[in-house]
Amino acid sequence: MTASPASQTSQADRAAAPPSSGERPASAATGPGGSSGPAARPVRRWRGAAAPAAVLVVLALLPYSALEIPVLLDGPVNSPGSLQLLALCLVFGGIALGYDLMFGRTGLLSFGHALYVAGGAYGTQLAMTGLGLGLLPAIGLALAGGTAAAVLLGAVSLRGLALGGIGFAMVTLAFAQAGSIWVQRNPGGLTGGEEGLPLHTGGVPDALVGVQNTANVYWLALAYLALTAAVVWTAVSRPVGRVWQGIRDNEQRLSVLGYDPFRHKLGVFVLASALGVLGGAMHLLVTAGATPRSSTPEFTLTLLVMVVLGGSGTRWGPLIGGVLFTFLDQRLAVLASSDLVHGLPGILRAPLSEPMVVLGTLFVIAVYAAPGGIASIRRSLTWRRGEETR
């Protein structure tokens, strides 16, 4: 039996269409010589682990490099200022990667992720000052409290999905706004109000205190990023990751197959929140303090921009977006106050003196140049090369 012209046309269209963000090109699914059987799987696993391992080694060796990069860094790579900037970029890369578990992998738009990042920072700080705990026990207590709060608030927020995705977003926004107001009101002098809280160095190991130990803080931030990446990438490659993708693509069909979407959505919400709590504790160490800005809904919007910029639902996209956005945000702030910008004509000085204006312009350009995020550029180029060789 021959296929109808309509079916032939649809097959041709599917063959010519570029792969979506959740698909891999056919060449990626085949082993050497075009095979796609079990023999090709170890090769793919080795290739999948080689790139992260190489990146991890390079990043771990940066504190030993005295390379100077003018404009991008104020001093050598291993100078305290440069290492602190790079550590902050790594922390935000990890936080964005965890946030993408909800947004990119499961399709849950949360405006309340800042609540858990701030909970990690303030919780760790208060556990050290109020309870006299050391750093690790304080982080553990903050993580336990943040996870318990995520279970409770997540269950309440997910009930808002009965009103659609916007219901979940609004409920998480309400919780985040309440937490932000509580932080800024400074009840009982706990949060420091608008000034925030300086890091209590008495509970922090000496190896993480002082300018001379900035490299150790950098390695700790790198360890957090590596842990987050390992957790996220492992989870999405397991069957539960397929369920999350099914919830994002067609939740009703998943329910028909016998899965409980609520239970899986609550699970990914709690996991992402726990990673956010850890990120908040790392942010406390890198910036040497807990700031009220980390509790605001605007903080979550920044995470959303990072994820979209890098490429939501991709392996490397949120990480790249978090690192790149943070680096540009910090460096453009320095550039805005430099003599170079002050010496420009007013028509140029006005926008360049506002880092968010420049960041917004770059974000719009990036969205138009790479609608799927920075991580989609390589996939698009690979698909185009495949089309040209046909």
Q: What is the pLDDT of residue 129?
A: 94
Q: Which of 136, 291, 114, 93 is nearest to 199 (CA)?
A: 291
Per-residue pLDDT of 21-64, as tens digits, reads 444 444 444 444 444 455 555 666 666 678 899 999 999 999 99
Please give the average per-residue pLDDT across 299-320, as a whole number: 94
Q: Which residues contact 290 (CB under 8 A, 6 or more apart)?
A: 118, 121, 122, 125, 191, 192, 196, 197, 199, 284
Q: What is the pLDDT of residue 251?
A: 87
CB atoms within 10 A of CB 170: 15
Per-residue pLDDT of 113-152, as tens digits, reads 999 999 999 999 999 999 999 999 999 999 999 999 999 9
Q: Which residues contact 344 (CB under 8 A, 6 or more apart)?
A: 352
Q: What is the pLDDT of residue 26?
A: 41
pLDDT at 220 over 50: yes
% of the chain surpassing 70 pLDDT: 83
Q: What is the pLDDT of residue 43?
A: 60
Q: Which of 210-214, 230-234, 333-337 has the lowest mean pLDDT?
A: 333-337
Q: Which residues contact 388 (CB under 8 A, 6 or more apart)?
A: none
The tokens for 192 are 């420091």
Q: What is the pLDDT of residue 6?
A: 44
Higher pLDDT, 205 or 163: 205
Q: Which residues pair with 198 in a beta bridge?
A: 289
Per-residue pLDDT of 84-93, as tens digits, reads 999 999 999 9
The whole-model pTM stands at 0.84
What's 18's DSSP letter?
Answer: P
Q: Which of 368, 176, 188, 159 is nearest to 261 (CA)?
A: 159
For helices 261-287 and 80-100, the axis angle rounded to 10 degrees is 170
**pLDDT band with cut points at 50, 70 and 90 for residue 317:** very high
Higher pLDDT, 309 or 352: 309
Q: What is the pLDDT of residue 61?
A: 96
* Dihedral over alpha carbons 62, 65, 71, 74 (to 10 degrees): 90
Q: What is the pLDDT of residue 11?
A: 41
Distance between alpha carbon 131 and the CA centroid of its chain, in Å? 31
Q: What is the pLDDT of residue 10?
A: 41
Q: Which residues pair with 290 in a beta bridge?
A: 197
Nearest-5° Cα angle at 32, 28 to 34? 70
pLDDT, the chain, mean = 85
Q: Which of 351, 353, 347 is nearest to 361 (CA)?
A: 351
Q: Which residues contact 101 (CB under 8 A, 6 or more apart)?
A: 232, 235, 236, 244, 268, 271, 272, 275
Per-residue pLDDT of 70-79, as tens digits, reads 888 888 999 9
